[in-house]
Amino acid sequence: MTRSNNSRPGTTTLPPIHPAADAFPLMPPEALRKLRGDILAHGQRVPCILWRGQLLDGRNRWRACQDAGITPSTVEHEGDEVSAIELVQSLNLERRDLTEAQRATAVVRTEAALGVAREARERQRALGAEHGAKGGRPVGSSSPTSSGPDGLHETLGDQVIPKGYGAQTTVTPRVPVAPAHPEARRVRDEAARSRAIISAKTQVSERAIRAAQAVCRAPTALEAVTSGLVPKIGTAAKIAALPEPQQQEVTRLIRTGEARSPVAAITKVTREADRSERAAKVAARPATSGHVIICGDAVEELRRLPSGSAHCCVTDPPYGLDVHRTRGGGQDYADGEEYALRLLDEVCTELERVLTSDAHIYVFSGYSLVEKFKNILRSHFGSGVQDNPIIWAKPNHTMCDFSRWYASSYELILFVRRSDARTLSSTCSRDIITTDRSGAAKHHSAAKPQPLLRYLIENSTVPGETVIDPFAGSGSSIVAAKSTGRRGIGIELDPAYAEAASGDIR
């Protein structure tokens, strides 16, 4: 119920804003200018609504009147606070200018305010019954309040109440019990039922309401939503889950245009934070010797290494070729399919222990056995194996009957992320890499070029971390690790290659 406030003295001073009204964002400057022009041309056709001295609805109209030098016309809402907040919801939830995130957070904030107002009404009724009269003391005065530990809330009985009646977060029972406790389950079930009721009432999904509850607990993320920087509630929830300094950096990148989208800003900030955290861990560890080539069997030597001692594996295992011919016509080595597959399987068993839980793995593969290689990797590392292999586009090609066949000029690299895998350093890592063969060791026909190896290593590690190669060959991967400030551990069965590799990393 409303009544005209014609007796109100002429004034353009903005009255206090009711917190439920503050749950909805203001018009952007351009829209406000258009509203001002419309009011100047046609007058204020819709009055502002007041409730007990607070502005309940019409902040934009009031501001437009202020700019136009016109005294705003008002009406007074005569119901209690519950009906006042419900009026705010009904007038604003269907605004077309609201983003998905703004609508969801407004629902959560106004529902929190409703919860507090309904509790106050029940207390007033109880006091009235106790004293034999209707009414009672004002909202929140039936028991003393005190500031909560975070400075954002007030405590009232066993409830956590946001200051400003829901301007920050939802009303949540304070239940200091373990998640498995029956009381915790009851609270969780009640929260789920509450979300379902709110969803049916407001036509906002339960998932969006859950995300908005998280956003409303994070002031920086909430400000990004209300200002229109982040239109999607799911994206806003991802920002809210970040530490406060990272939230601030994400919003800065969005606001300044340094990131092309909110998602790109989150990716950039989390990637940099991940690398900084790993670099700090490296700096905190005791200094270790730099680089080593171990001459011996890959499986046996891996068993001697400590658990969690390497952060990345870059390796070029036997491809299962019966004979590998060099361009000079010689035969480099022979390794049958059965031998190659068994060896890779045994090496992966040891890598599960030797590599850290967030490690990346790169395995070069010939195209004839790539699916079998992939299946072996999946048997050890599950869904962490990327389905599409990385393609290294080479500047040279294989030997073949050129009159009958296309010469192959690429090799495949299988990529694996372990269960707690870190992010890649590059903003966008494409699955086709083109490099020249510069820096490839001359004394091994299958040696990989330094630009390729450095790119893989730098994309998956930070300086000071350890790269391992169980099939080091001429030691190209260890040379690349050294040149990028990483520690390298290479294992090579052939004494001649091991000796040459040791010489290259000195």
SS (H, E, C) 371-400: HHHHHHHHHHHHHHECCCCEEEECCCCCCC
Kindly state the tokens that stand for 286.
């005791």
**How many angstroms separate the CA atoms of 135 and 124, rounded?**
5
Which one has a higher pLDDT value, 151 or 275? 275
- Poorest-confidence range of 6-10, 192-196, 265-269? 6-10
Mean pLDDT of 269-281: 86
The span from the first CA to the last CA of the chain, in angstroms, equals: 87
**How many angstroms separate the CA atoms of 367 and 378, rounded?**
17
In 10 A of CB 297, how many CB atoms?
A: 15
Residue with tokens 């503050």: 22
**Residue 463 and residue 421 in contact, taking contact as beta carbons nearer than 8 Å:** no
Phi, psi of 180 (to 5 degrees): -80, -10
pLDDT confidence band for 1 (50 / 70 / 90): low
Residue type, 473: G
- Poorest-confidence range of 16-30, 83-97, 188-202, 471-485? 188-202
Mean pLDDT of 47-51: 94
Q: Which pLDDT belongs to residue 23?
A: 92
Domain range annotation of the chain = 2-92, 100-241, 291-504
Task: Say if residue 263's pLDDT is above 50.
Answer: yes
The yes-or-no answer to whether 2-92 and 291-504 have a common fold is: no
Q: Which residue from 269, 271, 276 is spatially nearest to 423, judged by alpha carbons? A: 271
- The domain made up of 291-504 has a fold known as Rossmann fold (3.40.50)
Q: Which residue from 307, 309, 380, 390 is spatially nearest to 344, judged by alpha carbons? A: 380
CATH hierarchy code of domain 2-92: 3.90.1530.30
Q: Which pLDDT belongs to residue 120?
A: 83
Q: Which pLDDT belongs to residue 168?
A: 38
Most confident stretch, 52-61, 155-164, 274-283, 495-504: 52-61
Percent of the chain's residues with pLDDT above 70: 81
Per-residue pLDDT of 365-391, as tens digits, reads 988 899 999 999 999 999 999 999 999
Mean pLDDT of 60-67: 92
- Poorest-confidence range of 20-34, 145-159, 401-415? 145-159
3-state secondary structure of 407: coil
Which one has a higher pLDDT value, 231 or 134? 231
Tell the burial category of 41 from Cβ atoms under 10 Å away from its Cβ (0-12, 13-18, 19+).
exposed
Q: Which pLDDT belongs to residue 326?
A: 45
Per-residue pLDDT of 135-169, as tens digits, reads 444 444 433 333 333 333 333 333 333 344 333 33
Mean pLDDT of 91-108: 90
393, β-bridge pairs = 410, 434
Which regions of 170-297 does DSSP assign to beta strands (E)? Answer: 172-173, 291-295
Q: Which pLDDT belongs to residue 458?
A: 95
Q: Which pLDDT belongs to residue 9?
A: 46
Q: Which pLDDT belongs to residue 140?
A: 42
Which one has a higher pLDDT value, 184 or 267? 267
Q: Which pLDDT belongs to residue 327?
A: 42
Q: Which pLDDT belongs to residue 317?
A: 92
Task: Say if residue 8's pLDDT is above 80.
Answer: no
Q: Which residue from 431, 494, 19 is spatially nearest to 216, judged by alpha carbons? A: 19
Percent of the chain's residues with pLDDT above 90: 52
Q: Which pLDDT belongs to residue 231?
A: 95
Which one has a higher pLDDT value, 203 or 179? 203
Mean pLDDT of 58-85: 92
**How many angstroms separate the CA atoms of 393 and 294, rounded?**
30
Which one has a higher pLDDT value, 24 or 440? 24
Q: Which pLDDT belongs to residue 28?
A: 86
Q: Which pLDDT belongs to residue 2?
A: 57
**How many angstroms separate the CA atoms of 373 and 15, rounded?**
71
